[in-house]
Chain A
């Protein structure tokens, strides 16, 4: 679990819905790679081009609300986002994210205190250190970390079944 990484922070607001994460018109593009440039485009069209692999997103409450589209967490993962830290998540997005290997962290305070462009040190299951302050985070059960570390549920199951 002691898998600490440092990430540059992008800040989004409350109620970032799945239509913002990926608008309906791009859902049917052939691959997630094709969808990447349009991530977050209704809110910040430039953002997808600026995000670098390893960066993190910090957001407010109800991140991922709206439709059940599994493309939403898939495209965030494909952009190389190392983790999302939000006050809360919509239920289906939360599940779809973990199942697609995207690390989600809930924290009530970080969002109110961060500035975009800063960096944070994240230790999954333990804490986030930002600006000298430590934000404790809940630990995920081993099987969830297994899903995340494998890169999603299908891959985790294949690994479990000795296929990969």
Chain B
């Protein structure tokens, strides 16, 4: 029988053919616990009475939301994490290396065909390498830490096909925002978003990562790409029959199929204060902006910084506007430093900050106040996410963000 990508991946893991709706217990390849949740997961783990972690080498503890701390009590989470790591022998601990979702593939953990769970909703990001990954609660995480397995329901799939060449001012961020707008914020609930077509084939891993990251904003359980040669190169593994076999059958059954022509895409924004309130940038252009945020696990990668630097080279951002640039990881930070990108952005007047979640979760510098407008490259524009509930957050691509920083008003790149 024909199967979708996620059905094949899960079937491989449980050693039998699976169908949407089946409830299966899957072995877990990777667990990611972040600084916000580690204290709760640790408490539940001990309440459950486990003496040891099933495999400490498969657990990755990452400090990112509170890095560096901004509130008096924040470092308590680090102390709880450190104590847990010491007590149970966790070696994969990233205390200052960057955002969890960037590090889980960048640091070489998650590979094609793997199953990973994390205590953060944007754990869907690892679908970019052809892995199944999704967010869970801390009670469930505690259970996995003890047992190495988790039950799940095999999801139905929505096939999203994008063919053709994107206009030069359109990025994968515009593509995923458009898809979320069409699906709505709950349109993919419980389902797997399966991305394919010549446009995504031609995308970099970094661009695919942006799409997997935001799949959850349509309610999806995961957002997955079939692994290809580029994926394996990124993951530093050979492209073998195993990876080649990890693709959907042509006649697989989908709950819905969305098809797009890349040439028809335009730069878009998620307007205040819903992720599915999608409008073409041209419709909201001219709106005065107080701050631009370039960063996050959605769009804080080297190609995003390059896109901004290309627009801002030898120019200066608008007077009064603040631009905050937060690379997603230390590796990206160093690469951007070495190739001159950070210098260009700094010369243009941007504030470069420590790698981490930063302003995306309203914890880093750059908190805004009533009636201020921010154009940001991250994934959520919910009320109050970056300051007061009257801050207006527009989500956009790095290109739109940089162009807007240059002019001081929302501007199409």
Contacts and interface: CB of A to CB of B under 8 A. Distances in A.
A144 interface: yes
Interface string B129-157: 00000001101101100110001010000
B285 interface: no
Contacts of A154: 44, 47-48, 139, 142
Interface stretch (B20-28, B93-101, B168-176): B20-28
A61 B44 CA distance: 32
B143 A138 contact: no
Contact of A92 (B50, B137, B142): B137
Contact of A90 (B48, B51, B137, B189): B189
A158 interface: yes
Contact of B151 (A70, A138, A141, A161): A141
B221 interface: yes
A31 interface: no
Contacts of A95: 136-137, 140
Contacts of A141: 23-25, 151
A158 B51 CA distance: 11
B49 interface: yes
A106 B23 CA distance: 12
A68 B143 contact: no
B23 A138 contact: yes
Interface string B274-304: 0000000000000000000000000000000
B31 to A, nearest CB: 15
Contact of B49 (A65, A70, A161): A161
A22 interface: no
A153 B145 CA distance: 13
Given A94-B153, A141-B23, A143-B25, A158 B139 contact: no
B239 interface: no
A62 B185 CA distance: 14
Contacts of B202: none
A90 B221 CA distance: 10
B146 A157 contact: yes
Given A141-B23, A161-B50, A163-B49, A91 B140 contact: no
B186 interface: yes
Contact of A157 (B48, B137, B153, B189): B48
Contact of B48 (A98, A138, A144, A158): A158
Interface string B180-210: 0000001001100000000000000000000
Nearest to A158: B49
Contacts of B25: 141, 143
A154 B44 CA distance: 7
Contacts of B44: 154
Interface in A47-94: 62, 65, 68, 70, 88-92, 94
Given A70-B137, A143-B151, A154-B44, A90 B190 contact: yes
Interface string A84-127: 00001111101110110000001000000000000000000000
A43 interface: no
B99 to A, nearest CB: 21
B48 A161 contact: yes
A143 B136 CA distance: 18
Contact of A91 (B51, B143, B221): B221
Contact of B23 (A65, A144, A158): A144
Contacts of B50: 157, 161
A70 B153 CA distance: 19
A161 B25 CA distance: 19
Contacts of A70: 137, 139
Given A138-B21, A144-B23, A99 B139 contact: yes
Contacts of B51: 161
Contacts of A89: 190
A127 to B, nearest CB: 17
16 contacts: A62-B186, A90-B189, A91-B221, A92-B137, A96-B137, A138-B23, A140-B23, A141-B24, A143-B151, A153-B140, A154-B44, A154-B139, A158-B49, A161-B50, A161-B146, A163-B49
